[in-house]
């Protein structure tokens, strides 16, 4: 018979079970992390990570679905005990950055999700609690919006709550439970007319000029941007030569603002910058908006519970928002969610999305910080399954 256990009576017992299981798993999680780190794969190409993680979860007694919901590198691992219990969702990210490897530490996110799921399974069994834990391997966080694709295909529909963590920078033993910015990828293509730049330049329509005018327009707009807004991007072309008027240019930009509503208005102004450049140069324009990354809505009850547990491990806590973005924000708009950002040691000016951070993500110190946060996440998540009163508070 399965039961809802008195959380005050059994809280320490749950924690001991979770900690003990993660301590047992520690060497294997470290090896998984290093293997993923040594085989970096960009969005939608995470085949090595898919295979190694699904194999590991199968060995841990989980029901594993590879290539989940028609996505080659997505996967699902689930364990259920009894009937009628609640469902805890967990995420493992896997993708790396082009040319930089795991410069955002997704190797650590991957093993944290694995650790949470396996530790919660152990606690379900040891304490005879009905419930389920579902771990999703979520591809393409770095620009592909993989979690939104999974949301659209029903990948989160059976979860009551979803949790994960993400490494960042900061003082030793620090974690934050603030929000992240909403983000909108923008792709702009300019189409002109090629011509000989020395002989008949008047016959050309310069697509590169359009791109540089758009760049200048956005630079002028920065004077009126709010301090917590962001816009950044790159210019790309094809077969450019200094003696040929370029007939094609592409701009890949990203806009960020604290919340979705702010971002929508900000993007309208950016679109005007791009369109004005096309008008001024006589180029045709194609503007495409990518997957919107929503701002992150941390569930306050889950965040407070995690903060209390984290402090017991010597982790200091903060709640300031950060201007980075995550597609987990989209998940947080659909169900109660928790996504703490925790610090790992790195070099000066070696924050996320730098080569220095790639090196940091493979260190023992980064792994140790990840395991501490994983213990806190697992204990927080397990309370969802065993404490009905706590779950109702989360859902208010």
Taking residues 34-48, report their average pLDDT: 98
pLDDT in tens, 280-300: 999 999 999 999 999 999 999
Alpha-carbon span 208 to 98, nearest angstrom: 24
**SS3 (DSSP) at 281:** helix
- Per-residue model confidence (pLDDT) at position 6: 44
Domain boundaries of the chain, sorted by first residue:
7-180+296-395, 182-289
Residue in 173, 163, 145, 188 with CA at minimum distance from that of residue 325: 145
Cβ neighbors of 265 (< 8 A, separation 6 or more) are: none
Residue in 135, 127, 124, 136 with CA at minimum distance from that of residue 85: 124
- Per-residue model confidence (pLDDT) at position 239: 86
Fold of 182-289: Alpha-Beta Plaits (3.30.70)
Alpha-carbon span 81 to 5, nearest angstrom: 15
Alpha-carbon span 344 to 331, nearest angstrom: 25
Band of pLDDT at residue 21, cut at 50, 70 and 90: very high
Band of pLDDT at residue 5, cut at 50, 70 and 90: very low
DSSP classification of residue 144: S
Q: What does pTM read for this prediction?
A: 0.94
pLDDT in tens, 179-189: 999 999 999 99
| Residues 315, 377 contacting (CB under 8 angstroms) | no
Question: Strand 75-81 and strand 63-66: pairing?
Answer: antiparallel
- Per-residue model confidence (pLDDT) at position 8: 45
Secondary structure element (H or E) that encloses residue 133, with its range: strand 131-138
Band of pLDDT at residue 12, cut at 50, 70 and 90: confident
Band of pLDDT at residue 52, cut at 50, 70 and 90: very high
Residue in 13, 289, 303, 334 with CA at minimum distance from that of residue 151: 334
CB hemisphere CA count around 253 (13 angstroms): 24
Band of pLDDT at residue 77, cut at 50, 70 and 90: very high
Q: At residue 234, does pLDDT exceed 70?
A: yes
What is the chain's percent helix, strand, coil content, to nearest 5?
45, 20, 35
Q: What CATH number is given for 7-180+296-395 in this structure? A: 3.40.630.10
Sheet holding 316-318, edge to edge: 166-168, 341-343, 174-176, 316-318
pLDDT in tens, 104-131: 999 999 999 999 999 999 999 999 999 9
The share of the chain scoring above pLDDT 70, in percent, equals 97
> How does the average pLDDT of the chain come out, rounded?
96
Residue in 92, 22, 80 with CA at minimum distance from that of residue 50: 92
pLDDT in tens, 242-251: 999 999 999 9
């Amino acid at each position: 018979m399965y039961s809802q256990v008195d959380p005050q009576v059994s809280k320490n017992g749950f924690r001991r079970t979770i900690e003990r299981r993660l301590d047992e798993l520690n060497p294997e999680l470290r090896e998984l992390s290093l293997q993923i780190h040594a085989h970096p794969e960009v969005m939608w190409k995470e085949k090595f990570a898919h295979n190694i993680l699904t194999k590991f979860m199968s060995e841990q007694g989980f029901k594993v679905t590879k290539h989940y919901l028609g996505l080659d590198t997505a996967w699902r691992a689930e364990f259920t005990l009894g009937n009628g219990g609640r469902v805890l969702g967990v995420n493992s990210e896997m993708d790396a950055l082009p040319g930089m490897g795991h410069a955002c530490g997704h190797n650590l996110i991957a093993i944290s999700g694995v650790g949470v799921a396996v530790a919660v399974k152990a606690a379900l069994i040891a304490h005879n609690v009905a419930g389920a834990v579902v771990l999703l391997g979520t591809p393409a966080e770095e620009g592909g919006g993989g979690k939104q694709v999974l949301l659209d295909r029903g990948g989160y529909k059976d979860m009551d709550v979803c949790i994960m963590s993400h490494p960042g920078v900061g003082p030793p033993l620090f974690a934050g439970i603030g929000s992240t910015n909403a983000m909108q990828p923008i792709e702009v293509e300019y189409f002109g007319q090629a011509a000989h730049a020395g002989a008949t330049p008047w016959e050309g329509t310069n697509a590169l000029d359009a791109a540089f005018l758009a760049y200048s327009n956005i630079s002028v707009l920065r004077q009126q941007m709010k301090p917590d807004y962001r816009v950044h991007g790159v210019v790309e072309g094809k077969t450019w030569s200094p003696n040929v008027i370029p007939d094609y240019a592409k701009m890949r930009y990203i806009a960020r603002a604290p919340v979705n509503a702010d971002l929508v208005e900000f993007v309208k102004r950016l679109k005007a910058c791009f369109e004005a450049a096309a008008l001024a140069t006589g180029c045709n324009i194609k503007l495409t908006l990518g997957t919107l990354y929503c701002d992150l809505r941390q569930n306050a009850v889950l965040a407070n519970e995690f903060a209390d547990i984290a402090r017991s491990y010597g982790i200091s806590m903060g709640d300031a928002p950060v201007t980075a973005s995550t597609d987990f924000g989209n998940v947080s708009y659909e169900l109660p969610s928790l996504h703490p950002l925790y610090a790992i040691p790195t070099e000066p000016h070696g924050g996320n999305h730098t080569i220095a951070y790639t090196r940091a993500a493979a260190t023992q110190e980064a792994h140790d910080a990840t395991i501490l946060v994983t213990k806190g996440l697992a204990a927080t998540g397990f309370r969802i399954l065993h404490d009905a009163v706590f779950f109702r508070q989360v859902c208010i």
